[in-house]
Structure 1
């Protein structure tokens, strides 16, 4: 290695200061008085009754860890981390039932209206016999709806609120908020998450992600959280068969979709953009094409082409982020009921669309997507007992490197292995989206190259915070506050 002893020292120091700050945040959180939820036999029986299926061993383990945290007298700060389709939502719902049965309210925030609606419908269906009042709140709710929902929450008449960032608005108040659940939490800014948590008196917090995160990133970004991993899929799931098809052979892919849909299954067609050359509006279309290496397939044109020319005999729907919320909800419900047989969309379907009968996905210009994102998209199928197929259509501009990258998806379904490779290919900042993720601005250390030093620094930092000299620790805290807060986001250290 090119790292000199002096270089190693600087790397270690940078990691040690970061991990010390994270360890102090954990320690402070555990010393804060919170809610000690009870879990008596009546509540355990209530949880068993609402389960729609037998949980996996991984789901049971994750729930046991969450229950242990909820029973403790300090606030829970836990990350529920699982691959696509692993069943995180039902675990979160069980945690919500524990909080409600103890007399508290629950809020669940999701990054998109589609995902928030999906959660609302799922929670409402499973809890309809419980007598709980479940309410949705999003930016597209009408003023009258918002006023009525906020009144229910303020008076404690609604037990669960599910929605988007509209939940963090200043006038959203809870009578007794006991549990905050944040889904796909890396898509929210740090301040949005904090504002939601401050709507209760030290509520328990459960954050979830379906984006598999390599250990080096998890230790750095989520170092102040306890982590539960669901690394097992529900029984009966078949591996998704994935293959690359050049775009000149697209007719072969469409013929396969036709045969599958005719047999009773449903299909997704995913495009990289909503409409063609949006840069035209700014007069930059030529430059846009030049930088992107060619025109991107748009969902609007693909919808017209497939519905009118390729699949006129099938019912084809369209779903993208710019549709009004009511139209999105109707489209989703129509797809879930089977009324829509083929759904054309953008990456808005990456999270939140759960249709067990959907067994085919065609991804247009697959080389334009990151590996982890393609894995997320692929997770929308394979949720039933039918064999599922993911067809990656690739354009003529695809390089050999891109072809080999996509070949990884053909070989494996392990989201963590795919994420590790994607991280190496794209780097930590692009992989996570630095602005939203809380990824620290490291100057000397490298998360990929220096993983063993990160682990070493973390062990020593945790030991120092627990057993080190108090005066030395106080001096170090003062140094971190003065020099590292802004870079590392350790605002609440000490």
Structure 2
């Protein structure tokens, strides 16, 4: 396996220049390269006669070149048309900006061509063509072709060429790490066979066999890693809390009655806290379902038992909202709530750290600042992480490590289908708050083409502001860069002020602003001193301004459905009718599907299921879940049967060999640790 850890630039046929481009794709080692799987496969085996071709299909033809013509329809463009025929008819192959075609082929050459058919009354054209000389072993036609996810100037042919060089090398040895009994039990091919047939399928059947192996393996390793991580947490005894009668007094003091769903979730939490098992509970609730009050009462129960509590939020804005709500509600019950965020002064921070260590603070609310080494609790009993998908597994565990086996709650307003939640959170117990408080009106959502943008600004925005309401405008997601998004938001503000709203009060909020600036803008918006707030996705989570009734999302096709739903949830928080306008520029089928889903439903669980169907589970298993390996081939919707088998096998293996110390499991254990990297490194499995 050492060979697989070799730097990719030293692999035959790559070198420093190609390695630089591969690094941009996340490929740094030989192992990264061979596990860089195609995103789809194109079946080019469909060899047809020209007369049999159907409009809009992709097909392969075998034909003779009868003529080649080139032209320049406009400056900077070359158009090459290759005339071909077979025994049934003739066609033209269309190539844009590929003048070399004229010199590569001649009249009379027999060629194989794969392309998209454009058929009119008498003419047949093939576009987006792959053309090559007819041979018994064609490279780009008459086979199942891997199509790779590509950016940064690397072509599909280049990746295929690199893969061929690597996989044909006699030096490459991909050692089997799944135990032989699992391979036999589930009729799996070897890892060597799977890797080679995913990158260069010998046939449809060999590809199917290879994919099955990788899908099973991905699910098995994911499940075993998560089970190992959680068994490391759950082995120890937890704190046994008693239900304190003062909790009912706090609950009675609330200005509203809990919904049935809130009461159910709270009772599940209180029952967990009464057990000496460490609580590991996921609380899911749609936007506005009232998770915060459940967190408040859970923390109060902890404090009434003589312990401290902590609540970690992903942004200062959300942490401050939680602080304001909890401190106002709990003040009369002599429960001391404090806020620790990055913008605290050095003196404030020192004071808070001293008081929390001396048990003078009952509940500490904050951002990532809570997991810094300098934060020492005297007696922490309950840890709550809000919007858990913004934190990695390791970050959450660092907060728990600040006490002696505290109970753990993770909360999310990004509804995750139960099937996915069970995968992500394994043996966590799940509470679902699936009911909105009374009085919440559904938000009317309308998706419009960008051509109608002006009408929205001139009519709808002005109507809402004239009624005394306020408006959010979210600027397009450019890429994962706060600096670029800040620039886009600033430019949008200038455009809106100069073209549409010179007479209105327009504010700006983005991630590159200082915390004090962000706080000031949000206070002004809450105090109705700003009519229109232009923002990046920094307002995605938790921001609560009941007077805001209109949410406009520019270039909405660039956002995931779950994110659009979160942004939409910033309005509809008061008594007034609220609207969400999705402005889109794409004409793709995926865009049309997603806009329709948003218009049809306000149900976050339905939306998240559709989001996963359309985009796959990358959002949950990718960069946001630090330390959790990404599913590259497996898909929980398409491959649910395989998932269940892998889950069952993971439980069986760990039931027999809890720490994977049996000889047959050692290579599998290494693979799990390699895939999970930092997540499992702090758990002792000797």
- Report what 2:614 is aligned to: 425
Choose from 361, 385, 403 the match for 2:575.
Answer: 385
Choose from 456, 480, 483 the match for 2:671.
Answer: 483
- Report what 1:402 is aligned to: 591
- Report what 1:449 is aligned to: 638
- Alpha-carbon separation, structure 2, partners of 1:219 and 1:303: 43
Residues 247, 300 of structure 2: 8 Å contact kept:
no
- Report what 2:38 is aligned to: none
Q: 1:5 to 1:215 in 2, by over 3 A?
A: farther
Residues 238, 278 of structure 2: 8 Å contact kept:
yes
- Report what 1:259 is aligned to: 463
Moved more, 97-106 or 362-371: 362-371
Residues 242, 390 of structure 1: 8 Å contact kept:
yes
- Alpha-carbon separation, structure 2, partners of 1:471 and 1:374: 42
Choose from 250, 269, 277 the match for 1:66.
Answer: 269
5+ long unaligned stretches in structure 2: 1-203
Q: 1:232 to 1:438 in 2, by over 3 A?
A: farther
Q: CA deviation at 1:163?
A: 1.2
- Alpha-carbon separation, structure 1, partners of 2:471 and 2:290: 22
Choose from 546, 549, 553 the match for 1:363.
Answer: 553
Q: 1:342 to 1:278 in 2, by over 3 A?
A: closer
- Report what 1:271 is aligned to: 475
- Report what 1:315 is aligned to: 505
Q: 1:310 to 1:451 in 2, by over 3 A?
A: same
Q: 1:391 to 1:444 in 2, by over 3 A?
A: closer
- Alpha-carbon separation, structure 1, partners of 2:380 and 2:668: 33
- Alpha-carbon separation, structure 2, partners of 1:273 and 1:13: 34
Q: Secondary structure at the match of 1:162?
A: strand
- Alpha-carbon separation, structure 1, partners of 2:431 and 2:591: 33
| Matching of residue 178 in structure 1 with residue 381 in structure 2 | yes
Residues 442, 572 of structure 2: 8 Å contact kept:
yes
Q: Secondary structure at the match of 1:384?
A: coil
- Alpha-carbon separation, structure 2, partners of 1:419 and 1:365: 20
Q: 1:158 to 1:278 in 2, by over 3 A?
A: closer
| Matching of residue 326 in structure 1 with residue 530 in structure 2 | no
Residues 483, 512 of structure 2: 8 Å contact kept:
no
Q: CA deviation at 1:52?
A: 3.2
Q: Secondary structure at the match of 1:116?
A: helix
Pair member with larger Rg: 2
- Report what 2:143 is aligned to: none
- Report what 2:30 is aligned to: none
- Alpha-carbon separation, structure 2, partners of 1:60 and 1:453: 36
- Alpha-carbon separation, structure 1, partners of 2:659 and 2:316: 50
Write out aligned runs for 1:113-124 (5 A): 113-124=316-327
Q: Report 1 or 2 for greater relative contact order, CA contacts < 8 Å, sequence distance ≥ 6.
A: 1
Residues 242, 410 of structure 1: 8 Å contact kept:
yes
- Alpha-carbon separation, structure 1, partners of 2:654 and 2:478: 50
Q: CA deviation at 1:29?
A: 3.8
Q: Secondary structure at the match of 1:323?
A: coil
Q: 1:474 to 1:228 in 2, by over 3 A?
A: farther
Q: 1:457 to 1:400 in 2, by over 3 A?
A: closer
TM-score calculated relative to the size of structure 1: 0.87
- Report what 2:535 is aligned to: 345
Residues 486, 511 of structure 2: 8 Å contact kept:
no
Residues 245, 392 of structure 1: 8 Å contact kept:
yes
Moved more, 307-316 or 130-139: 307-316
Residues 285, 433 of structure 2: 8 Å contact kept:
yes
Q: 1:445 to 1:409 in 2, by over 3 A?
A: closer
Which protein has the bigger helix share?
A: 1
1:25-63 Cα distance to aligned partner (Å, 9 max, x none)? 5555444111111103x2332331343321111111111
- Alpha-carbon separation, structure 2, partners of 1:28 and 1:130: 37
- Alpha-carbon separation, structure 2, partners of 1:421 and 1:238: 23
5+ long unaligned stretches in structure 1: 281-294
| Matching of residue 372 in structure 1 with residue 575 in structure 2 | no
- Report what 1:292 is aligned to: none
RMSD: 3.1
Which protein has the bigger strand share?
A: 2
- Alpha-carbon separation, structure 2, partners of 1:198 and 1:118: 25
Q: Secondary structure at the match of 1:228?
A: strand
TM-score calculated relative to the size of structure 2: 0.64
| Matching of residue 36 in structure 1 with residue 224 in structure 2 | no
- Alpha-carbon separation, structure 2, partners of 1:38 and 1:400: 55
Residues 75, 204 of structure 1: 8 Å contact kept:
yes
- Alpha-carbon separation, structure 2, partners of 1:76 and 1:268: 38
Residues 486, 536 of structure 2: 8 Å contact kept:
no
- Alpha-carbon separation, structure 2, partners of 1:278 and 1:31: 41
Q: Secondary structure at the match of 2:636?
A: coil
- Alpha-carbon separation, structure 1, partners of 2:520 and 2:316: 12
- Report what 1:164 is aligned to: 367
Q: Secondary structure at the match of 2:333?
A: coil
Residues 186, 437 of structure 1: 8 Å contact kept:
no
Q: Secondary structure at the match of 2:563?
A: helix
Residues 39, 71 of structure 1: 8 Å contact kept:
yes
Residues 243, 274 of structure 2: 8 Å contact kept:
yes
